[in-house]
Structure 1
Amino acid sequence: MSKELPQPQQSEEIDLGQLFKMIGNVFERFFKFIGSLLNSLFMAFVWMVFFIKKHLIKIVVAAIIGYGLGFFKTKLSKPVYRSSAIIKQNYNTGEVLYETIQYYDKLVAEGDTLALANNLKIDRSKAASIRGISIKAVTNDNNRIKSYDAYIKDLDSVVASTITYEDYLSFSEEYNISLQELAVNTYSNASFEDVIVELIHKIETSPYFQNVQNRDLSELKGRESAIRETLVKSDSLQAVYQEVLKKSAEAKSGGQTSITIDNTENKSVTKEFELYQSDLNLRRELVEIQRELEEKENILEIVSIQKERGVVRNKAEVFGFEVSRPLAYGFFLSLMIFVLLLVVEFLKFLERFRSKL
């Protein structure tokens, strides 16, 4: 009887040659794209270099004119003095603090010296000398990292694992930072400490923050009282343990026979040590509470303040850097000319492109 050999079943097999060819085509297109992108960036860089070379004299002249304007304006205009203070927020006052400063700065911009004088409790001539009121956070990268670490510790571990440092920076606000610099720019070199103190007083006398402060102080004092009562009871219990150990030691020294069951004596020593450790933890917590009470006594705390006279403010801020005003004028005027020339060049390109249609 003849046996029929089973016919091999036809199956769809991937041609490895075609697969490698497809992968090679993908990489080839990818590298061509990267090459074309780098080429375009290089051509744009070359074009920009020739553009600047073509208009370099105009840009330099604009910078010189701007520097001259800034120099003469600085010399001819009245000097601006700056009085400032570093304040610490012990409560979440940041948003209200910024809104309050913006309100008074708006009064300055509108020239409403009467309302400014009445609200800040100063005479009208002093109010008229105020040029602007500002506030900004005092921080750096190290402080931001510490703030991020403290923020993460207050969150649930699952939620905290989903929030990166970049995410925190994206939704954190400058007014939430603890240290803030409050500044008053004026045309007078007199001390404006009273103005800064009054601005802080406006926040501290807010009914909302006073209620929050009262609740926090009440809670902390309650915890302090409970811990002190616990420590008093603990001292009494320790005295009992010490008396028991003392009598046990006297019994042994007197030659009396004592029988201990289940290491009762060792357990007494262990309990006394555990009680001692508990007392240490409670006393540490008591120190922390007292420190919190000292901080919560002030809604806003003045860290440092200029008490005598303001200092001349002759600097301007350019992209986060402080430079002299003539340099700032020269930079901005040359930048304006540069942008204007770019716009003109772009319009010429559009005209040439339209002519080809």
Structure 2
Amino acid sequence: MNKNLPEQQTSGEVDLGQLFTLIGNAFQKLYNLIASIIKAVFSVIIYTLKALIVNVKTILIVMILAGVLGYVLDKVKPDSYSSTMLVKPYFDSKYQLITNINYFNALIENENFEMLSSLFKLPEEDVKNIGEFIIQPGPETENQRILQFENFIKDVDSIRAQNINYEDFVENRSIYSSDFFEISVTASKKDIFPKLEEGLNNSFTNFYSLKKMKKRDSLISIQKENIREQIEQVDKLQEIYINVLKDESQSKATELNLGGEGFSLSSDKTKTREYDLLNTEMQLRNELKQLQEKKIEEDVFFDVISSFQEVGNKSTEWYNRYTLVFPILAFIILCVIYLSRKTVTYVNNYEA
């Protein structure tokens, strides 16, 4: 047994040595991998810089010529203007609005200016100046997004709601989720924008929204009638309690019999019940007021929060400036040509 002990120790030392060897080899492979990646990146940078330095004259000449050509075209092409209006649709008229905006863009793309002229009630020469209609969700505060998320969670079953968080909700919302919409128009005529509002305003009208508005008005009328009836009942009860109080002025307590059981109305109880009735009446009148305000506030298919400007803003986006775009495109084309030549040369000289 004593002879086997040194053999077991030697075996354990060998296993431990093999383990350290494996770990060392793994680190060596990792080091070699990282070194090869760094070397490859460094080589790409060096070859890129070398290509730029060798061909710097050609690159500069081509980019300067492209910049000059872009500058000339910028001076020749008509200026582009843009303006924005902010609207708040009601009765789900936003669906018709978005559909009509896409329809307007389709007419512009197909150059159907006759139809566009009839829709906006403008001469064809004016509508030819329209470049594009753009619609996107209007500005929102964080509180508005949180309220939308809470309303969404209420409409979803509890099991599914557990798997939905606020960040996913905000990220996956569609354009139809917004309550406000920003409508932008680009045109080559700077003062055409106010003339487009009438045509855009007609974009909200549709049979579904009209039907929904009438249904809302009918429900409000029914609710108002019910509230008025409740107020009348409360007024009658108040008259009864006032009469009871008058009778109590002649006696300390009054006993009423209902269904064979009697109870007394003391002065404190009648005053308390009169106070409760007064609160009930105030609540009912407040509900009636809210219904009337809602009908007045939402008596149209949309509200214009901000209108188009009388004169549009001159577009200054970099991608519309040929002076910047042409040199960038020229550089990209030169890179493609250089890489294509190198690839062809490599393929021709390749030997398996």
Give the structure-2-normalised TM-score: 0.70
Tell me the residue number matched to 1:13: none
| CA deviation after TM superposition for structure 1 residue 77, in Å | 1.3
1:27-42 correspondence runs (5 A): 39=34
Checking the alignment, whether the CA contact within 8 Å between 1:101 and 1:134 is kept in structure 2 is yes
Unaligned runs of 5+ in 1: 1-20, 318-323
Query: Structure 1 pair 165/286, CA: closer, same or farther in 2 (3 Å)?
Result: same
| CA deviation after TM superposition for structure 1 residue 96, in Å | 2.5
Write the distance in 2 (CA, Å) between the matches of 1:225 and 1:45: 79
Tell me the residue number matched to 1:302: 304
Q: 2:141 aligned with 1:169, yes or no? A: no
Query: Structure 1 pair 278/340, CA: closer, same or farther in 2 (3 Å)?
Result: farther
Tell me the residue number matched to 1:116: 116
Deviations 1:142-173 (A, max 9, x none): 24333223323444555433422233235421
Query: Structure 1 pair 240/259, CA: closer, same or farther in 2 (3 Å)?
Result: closer
Instruction: Please say which structure displays the higher CA radius of gyration.
Output: 2
Letter in 1 for 2:279: Q
Write the distance in 1 (CA, Å) between the matches of 2:104 and 2:159: 43
Q: 2:317 aligned with 1:315, yes or no? A: yes
Deviations 1:128-153 (A, max 9, x none): 22122221211346243332233234
Tell me the residue number matched to 1:5: none
Write the distance in 1 (CA, Å) between the matches of 2:163 and 2:200: 39
Deviations 1:4-55 (A, max 9, x none): xxxxxxxxxxxxxxxxx9xx9xxx9xx98xx78x959877876776576556
Tell me the residue number matched to 1:242: 242
Checking the alignment, whether the CA contact within 8 Å between 1:82 and 1:184 is kept in structure 2 is yes
Checking the alignment, whether the CA contact within 8 Å between 1:105 and 1:133 is kept in structure 2 is yes
Checking the alignment, whether the CA contact within 8 Å between 1:152 and 1:160 is kept in structure 2 is yes
Unaligned runs of 5+ in 2: 1-15, 256-261
Write the distance in 2 (CA, Å) between the matches of 1:273 and 1:127: 66
Aligned CA-pair RMSD: 4.4
| CA deviation after TM superposition for structure 1 residue 316, in Å | 5.0
1:258-269 correspondence runs (5 A): 258=253, 264-265=265-266, 266-269=268-271
Write the distance in 2 (CA, Å) between the matches of 1:228 and 1:75: 70
Query: Structure 1 pair 145/258, CA: closer, same or farther in 2 (3 Å)?
Result: closer
Write the distance in 2 (CA, Å) between the matches of 1:280 and 1:160: 38
Checking the alignment, whether the CA contact within 8 Å between 1:81 and 1:310 is kept in structure 2 is yes
| CA deviation after TM superposition for structure 1 residue 92, in Å | 1.9
Please say which of residues 190-199 and 85-94 is displaced more in the overlay: 190-199
Write the distance in 1 (CA, Å) between the matches of 2:309 and 2:185: 13
Tell me the residue number matched to 2:5: none
1:287-298 correspondence runs (5 A): 287-298=289-300
Tell me the residue number matched to 1:93: 93
Tell me the residue number matched to 1:127: 127
Tell me the residue number matched to 2:201: 200
Query: Structure 1 pair 337/137, CA: closer, same or farther in 2 (3 Å)?
Result: farther
Checking the alignment, whether the CA contact within 8 Å between 1:132 and 1:186 is kept in structure 2 is yes
1:134-283 correspondence runs (5 A): 134-140=134-140, 142=142, 143-204=144-205, 206-248=206-248, 250-251=249-250, 256-258=251-253, 264-265=265-266, 266-283=268-285
Tell me the residue number matched to 1:329: 325
Query: Structure 1 pair 45/281, CA: closer, same or farther in 2 (3 Å)?
Result: farther
Write the distance in 1 (CA, Å) between the matches of 2:95 and 2:170: 17
| CA deviation after TM superposition for structure 1 residue 66, in Å | 6.9
Checking the alignment, whether the CA contact within 8 Å between 1:69 and 1:329 is kept in structure 2 is no
Checking the alignment, whether the CA contact within 8 Å between 1:95 and 1:176 is kept in structure 2 is no
SS at 1:163 equivalent: coil
| CA deviation after TM superposition for structure 1 residue 107, in Å | 1.0
Write the distance in 2 (CA, Å) between the matches of 1:47 and 1:147: 53
Write the distance in 1 (CA, Å) between the matches of 2:296 and 2:80: 37
Letter in 2 for 1:283: R
Write the distance in 1 (CA, Å) between the matches of 2:67 and 2:351: 43
Checking the alignment, whether the CA contact within 8 Å between 2:97 and 2:204 is kept in structure 1 is yes
| CA deviation after TM superposition for structure 1 residue 105, in Å | 1.2
Letter in 2 for 1:114: E
State the number of aligned residues.
318
| CA deviation after TM superposition for structure 1 residue 225, in Å | 2.5
Please say which of residues 48-57 and 120-129 is displaced more in the overlay: 48-57
Query: Structure 1 pair 242/74, CA: closer, same or farther in 2 (3 Å)?
Result: farther
Letter in 2 for 1:118: S
Write the distance in 2 (CA, Å) between the matches of 1:335 and 1:228: 77
Query: Structure 1 pair 333/262, CA: closer, same or farther in 2 (3 Å)?
Result: farther
Checking the alignment, whether the CA contact within 8 Å between 1:105 and 1:132 is kept in structure 2 is yes
Query: Structure 1 pair 343/152, CA: closer, same or farther in 2 (3 Å)?
Result: farther
| CA deviation after TM superposition for structure 1 residue 330, in Å | 7.0
Q: 2:75 aligned with 1:75, yes or no? A: yes
Checking the alignment, whether the CA contact within 8 Å between 2:113 and 2:124 is kept in structure 1 is yes
| CA deviation after TM superposition for structure 1 residue 192, in Å | 2.8
Write the distance in 2 (CA, Å) between the matches of 1:169 and 1:298: 29
Letter in 1 for 2:187: T
